[in-house]
Amino acid sequence: MFPSLINHLKKFNFIQNEPLSKHSTFRVGGVAKYFYDTENIDDVPELIAWAKSKPVPYFILGGGSNVLFKDSGFDGLVVKISADKISLDPKGVLAEAGAKMAEVARFACANDFSGLEEFSSIPGTIGGAVYGNAGCFSKDIGSALLRAWILRDDKIVSVKNDYFDFKYRWSKLKNTHEVVLKVLLKTSAGSCDKSRMDEILKLRKEKQPWGLSAGSFFKNPGSTPETSAGYLIEKCGLKGEKVGGAQISSKHANFIINMGSATSEDILDLADCAKKAVKKQFDIELEPEVRIIG
């Protein structure tokens, strides 16, 4: 299987037993059996071909801001995409999958393009953002995406926005597991609204806690403040609740914080506690926004 690619892969030096806690904003997790950090998106098809030939499972990692690795680790290949080139295109901004959302927004602003201001406070990468249709302040990446280059059936293909069937914090990639390599985002001519960017960053600092977390742990089950995950968890009296080294933030109840000594099991137990409490009190089933891997 993939004989030419396998021969070519001899140039790759895989790291074995790499601690995944180093690559997650939660700073928890076991080791990856094989690990490779690439700054070249052309490497990705070959790395996946190698994993399929073994065969071993593989996982594509971006900035690690929306993922929880289990303490048991990952018995396969983790490919971290660090390719982060950003450039201008006649239709908008081109960005490789490893580019930070905030950096893409600032790049557009610096080149006098508007339309991406809301993304200036999102910590994750553009590839992960498309995979999960990330967003904030009533705007998600699906509303800005014109085109993406993805790895599908071992080939790099270009697809338009409607291919992803975007929904709230969801794209069809969650079913197909295809890999985003590069995207084209639409921008508007005219000056960037720098005051809007400043306002968004200020609101983010005011409303969301700092610390070791993966951002919002659960998806919001409704579209009103009273049906947000944070509101529901808070109404269950769980702000500040702890399990081991993990704590539900006393500032925003949809954030679980690693206080410095948490394990992934602590975090999962605390999330389960919140999920059960909301189900019991409100008969609402919370669904994780964070990807749980292991």
Question: What pLDDT score was predicted for residue 1?
Answer: 36
Give ranges for CATH 3.30.43.10 in the chain.
3-81
pLDDT at 4 over 60: no
Nearest to 21 by CA among 245, 184, 216: 245
> What percentage of the chain has pLDDT greater than the value 90?
81
Verify whether residue 289 is a known catalytic residue: yes
Each residue's pLDDT tens digit, 163-213: 999 999 999 999 999 999 999 999 987 788 888 888 888 888 877 888 899
Question: Where along the chain do the CATH 3.30.465.10 domains lie?
Answer: 86-194
- CATH code for 3-81? 3.30.43.10
CATH class of 86-194: alpha beta
Q: Choosing from 24, 65, 120, 216, which is the catalytic residue?
A: 216
Please give the full DSSP string across 135-194, using - where no structure is assigned: EETTEEGGGTEEEEEEEETTEEEEEEGGGG--BTTB-THHHH--EEEEEEEE-EES---H
**Which is higher by pLDDT, 164 or 6?**
164
Q: Could you tell me which CATH number the domain at 209-293 has?
A: 3.90.78.10
> Residue 5: its pLDDT value, please?
45
Structure confidence at residue 135 (pLDDT): 87
Of the residues 178, 234, 241, 289, which is catalytic?
289
Band of residue 26 on the pLDDT scale cut at 50, 70, 90: very high
134 within 8 A of 141, measured Cβ to Cβ = yes
- 43-52 mean pLDDT: 94
| Known active-site residue 169 | yes
Q: What is the mean pLDDT of residues 237-263?
A: 97
For the chain, residues classed under CATH 3.90.78.10 are: 209-293
Active-site option among 21, 169, 234, 264: 169
Nearest to 229 by CA among 211, 249, 245: 249
* Each residue's pLDDT tens digit, 116-151: 998 988 889 999 999 999 988 788 999 999 999 999
User: Is 103 labeled as catalytic in the residue annotation?
Assistant: no
Percent of the chain at pLDDT exceeding 70: 96
pLDDT at 279 over 70: yes
Among 2-6, 50-54, 210-214, 256-260, where is mean pLDDT lowest? 2-6
Task: Indicate whether 2 pLDDT > 80.
Answer: no
**How confident is residue 3, by pLDDT bands cut at 50, 70 and 90?**
very low
